[in-house]
Each structure stands twice: as structure tokens, then as C-alpha cells.
A and B are shown apart, each in its own frame.
Chain A
Amino acid sequence: MKEIIRITVGLTVSCLIAALLMGSVFIVTDKAKKHNEHVNIQRAMLGLLGYTRGHPAPPDLRLYTMYRYIIEDGAIRTLGYMLPVVKGEHGGYQLVVIDLDGQFVNRFKLNITPEKVSEASERASAIKAVLKPPKTFVYSDSTIVAKLGQKRLAYLLPGKFPGFKTFIDVMLAIDPSFKIIGLEIMEQEEDPGLGAEINQDYFKNQFKEKSFEKIKKINVTKEPLPEEYKKYLETKKGRDFPLPKGVVDTIRSKYQDKDIYALTGATISSQAVTNGVKNMIRKFAYRINRLDSVISRQHIPVAF
């Protein structure tokens, strides 16, 4: 009996010490970690829009995030868009509820400051305050609208879809006509040397400048990637040019409407990314069109 108690006490004490250690390290480092993640995403977004350290973003570039929630009231399902609005000198947020047919239902003013809006729990409590109790809501996704001066420059869509092994986390930039500006792979765990090659410029840059019409019915082709196209895809802006200037434009127009060339030995990963991107853009185009018509009909003073 004495032995059992000693073992129990020993285990409990060592667990407590370990928990205490890990907890205190977590508290100390959490802020810096979140900051790093934020910086990382910010850099990826600006990179997709073509702004790098050598070519910084202009000061009137603004990034606005809107959050989409699915609201359930018994069997009735509606969509709630949390939108940044302009009101007075301080911006605010409003929850615009739209039914599944794209008709306006209701809108609420949310009590949340722009500093706190990136915290999921802060958003949830702000929405909870305006929705009546039987209604429940779940977070669905978010979209970042990049605005340069008075006009919309691009939409940035964070997305996630199943790859060959686990989920592939991407960030997609498209312009207001839904043409792809760029694709960035944020996180993936595909096979190194095979599926992991989706991270290479010669794969992800193939999506660049594909039009909405093309993307809607894009496919994967198993033909080998032509050498001149590969060279073109791997050319970075501002770096030394391996291709003559006139050739660049011919290659671009030649391959603009081609399908995506699959990676050698990783057809499934290539297909997963292609279909994922295709679905993301199709769904987004449908949603934003409906949202925009509601916004203009209801005269909602959105910031973007």
C-alpha cells in the first residue's frame, strides 16, 4: 500500500512539474509565436501581390478581412458575413445575415475593435451578443480584400483541401475578375521529391494568370512539362533573365490557356491542388457576387 501511494505521489509530482514547466514556457513564448505567424502570413500575402522587401507595398494599400459564419436556427440555415465598415473616423464591424438564396435577412452592429478582431474568441463573443439564443453559429472561412486607393486590387483566399497524404494549406490571390494572381503553398506534408514538389515554382506558377473562364474547367495533363515553359515559370521578377524579352510574352500567351502539367510521379497531388484551387475560386466567385449585390442594395458602408 505504501508503495502504491509513493508511486502515485511520484507520478503526480513529476507530471505537475512538467506541466508547470511547459505552461510557463508557453506563456512566455506565446505572444512572440503568434506575432511570427502573423508576420509570416502577412509576408506571404504581400509576396503574392508582388510586394517584396526590395519593392515594398505602397502606403495606401489596405488589407481588410471578412469572416464568414454559418448560422443555424433550428432547421433554417443562413450565412453571416462579418464585414469591416466605415463609420466616422473609427472603423467598425457589422454582421450581415444572408439566406441561402442570396436574400438579405438582417444586419447587426458588432461591438468589437479592429485590434481584437483577429482573435477567434473575441469575434465569437461579439457575435453571440447580437444573435438571439436559439441560434447557433460556426466559423467557416475568411477572405482578405486588398484595396489600393479606392479600388479593389485583389482577393486573398486562405484555403485548405485534402492532398495525397494530409491537408494542403494554401493562400490564393485573385484579381476582381477572378483571374489568378498567384498561389502560395503555406503548409503541406506530401512525399519529398514527389508530391512535395508542389512547392516548386515550376508547378505553382503554372496557375498564374489563368483566367476565370479557364479555371472553371481546368484539368491536369500528364504530358511532360516543356523545357521553355519550365524556364519561364522559374524566372523570378527582377532577377537576371535567362530568356530574351520578346520570348517571354510569346511563351506566356502560348501556355496561358493550357491545362496544368502534372508533376512526375505525383499526379494525385497535382490533381488535388488543381481541383482545390478550382473549387475555391468557383465557390468564392459565387459568394462574393451575392454578397456584393446585397451590399449595394442595402447600402452597407463596407470598407473594401
Chain B
Amino acid sequence: MPATTKTNFQLVSNGILNDNPIFRLALSMCPAVGISTTVMNGIMLGIAVLFVQVFSSCTIALIKDHIHPRIRIPTYTLTIATWVTVIDLVLAAYMPAAYKEMGIFVKLIVAFAIITMRLEVFACKNSVPASFWDGIGMGLGFMAGMVAIGFVRELLGMGTILGYDVLGFRPLLFFVLPAAGFFCVGIMMAMFNYMELVYNRKKKG
């Protein structure tokens, strides 16, 4: 893939819609299924991924000419691990309140496929600004997906939204369990595809 010709806005919207990490690329499904039980979890993990993705993308875009092609994957992993550790340590030291909420999510990120994939496909071929906007788009897309799944699962499983009791009862306890995550992702993916189909048909007709 040659260097991108997209504008910054297109790069961001690409991450949220066309190449949404969860619904279109189907990457990083473990956290999507495991963590997305509440809207708050989705937001927290989304913020954490956003930061790590942007920092890692920029770093790789910056040093891409110095990486030997044979060792690029280990280098990506190292970059992500370094940023995750740095963010984790800095949060724990200077923002204890934020760390209390986000600490466990930040540590999870090292193994995320979506970040490695964006470094391999995009950041190692593009300039720093383009990688920055791509990172923002991917992070926001991931967050949007997590929040959408979290919304459904929290509402149906616990009867609450963001911890506020909206239904007053728990309709389907099953939705809190990991297995329900797969159902949610599957149904939403189908909806996403269907909407695109309708949109394209309208555009043609």
C-alpha cells in the first residue's frame, strides 16, 4: 500500500466506519467480548486504546526508516509494550484516581491485535501526521464499538446505563456473561453490514 492520499477527516472517519476495528476488521475480539459488559468499561478501554494506538503509531511512523524489515513485528510489540508500561507507570504515579478506574484496562492492551495491525498496515508506510489521525480514528472506532456493545449488554443484563438504574429490573442476566458478548457482536456486525447494503443501494438508485 503506497502512502495514503486521504485527508485527515477521511482518516478519522475511516477508523470509525469503513474500517471499524470491531465490526469490520473483527480484530481484538477478546476484549470486545470479555470487557464490554458495561458502557463505562467500554469508554475506559476505548480511551486506553486510543492513547496507546496514537503514541505507538507516531513512534513507528517516526522511526520507520531505521527498522530492519525482518524484525519489524518484534519492534512493533516492543513499542506497544513500552508505551503501555510508560502510560501505566505515569498514571499510577501522577493520576491515582484515573489509575484506579483504568489501570486494569491499560495492562490488557499489550496483546491487542488492532494496534499491531495498524502499525503494520498503516504507520510503517505513512508520515507522522497521517499516522496520528489514523490512530485517533482507530481508537475512536474501537471505543464506539465497545460502547455500543456495552450499552446493549448493560441494559439487558443489568437494567442500568452507566450505573444508573433505568429499567428497575434485570431483563436477561445472561447478557453479562462472556458468551453473550459473541451474540451481541454477531448481531451488531450483521446490522452494520445491512446498513451499508441499504446505503449503497440508495446511492446507486
Contacts and interface: CB of A to CB of B under 8 A. Distances in A.
A7 B167 CA distance: 59
The 9 closest A-B pairs by CB, nearest first: A29-B93, A32-B93, A193-B176, A36-B96, A192-B37, A10-B68, A33-B93, A18-B82, A33-B92
B180 to A, nearest CB: 11
A33 B81 CA distance: 19
Interface in B74-120: 74-75, 78-79, 81-82, 85-86, 89-90, 92-94, 96, 99, 104
Contact residue range for chain A?
Answer: 20 to 34
A192 B93 contact: no
Interface in A173-203: 189, 191-194
A1 interface: no
A194 B99 CA distance: 23
A22 to B, nearest CB: 5
Interface string A4-40: 0011001100110010011001101111110010011
A265 interface: yes
A30 B92 CA distance: 9
B38 interface: yes
Given A6-B68, A21-B86, A265-B173, A193 B96 contact: no
Contacts of A6: 68
B177 A191 contact: yes
Given A29-B93, A192-B176, 20 more contacts: A3-B70, A6-B68, A7-B68, A14-B67, A14-B74, A14-B78, A18-B81, A21-B86, A25-B89, A26-B89, A28-B93, A29-B89, A29-B90, A30-B93, A32-B93, A191-B177, A192-B38, A192-B41, A193-B154, A193-B173
Contact of B71 (A10, A28, A39, A40): A10
B2 to A, nearest CB: 25
A7 B170 CA distance: 57
B90 A25 contact: yes
Contact of B38 (A14, A26, A31, A193): A193
B91 to A, nearest CB: 9
A7 B82 contact: no
Contacts of B37: 191-193
Interface size class of B (residues with CB under 8 A): 20 to 34
Nearest to A197: B158
B35 to A, nearest CB: 8
Interface in A31-61: 31-33, 36, 39-40
Nearest to A11: B71
Contacts of B81: 18
Contacts of A25: 85-86, 89-90
Contact of B92 (A22, A29, A189, A264): A29
Contacts of A39: 96
B139 interface: no
A39 B89 CA distance: 17
Interface of A: 3, 6-7, 10-11, 14-15, 18, 21-22, 25-26, 28-33, 36, 39-40, 189, 191-194, 264-265
28 contacts: A3-B70, A6-B68, A7-B71, A10-B68, A10-B71, A14-B74, A14-B78, A18-B78, A18-B82, A21-B86, A22-B85, A22-B86, A25-B89, A29-B90, A29-B92, A30-B89, A32-B94, A33-B92, A36-B96, A39-B96, A191-B37, A192-B37, A192-B41, A193-B37, A193-B38, A194-B173, A194-B176, A265-B173
A29 B89 CA distance: 7
B157 interface: yes
Given A7-B68, A32-B94, A21 B38 contact: no
B101 to A, nearest CB: 13
Contacts of B79: 18
A31 B92 CA distance: 10
A15 B71 CA distance: 11
A21 B87 CA distance: 12
Contacts of B78: 14-15, 18
Nearest to A27: B89
Given A15-B78, A21-B86, A192-B38, A7 B70 contact: yes
Given A7-B70, A29-B94, A193 B85 contact: no
Contacts of A15: 78
Contacts of A265: 173
B163 to A, nearest CB: 11
A18 B86 CA distance: 10
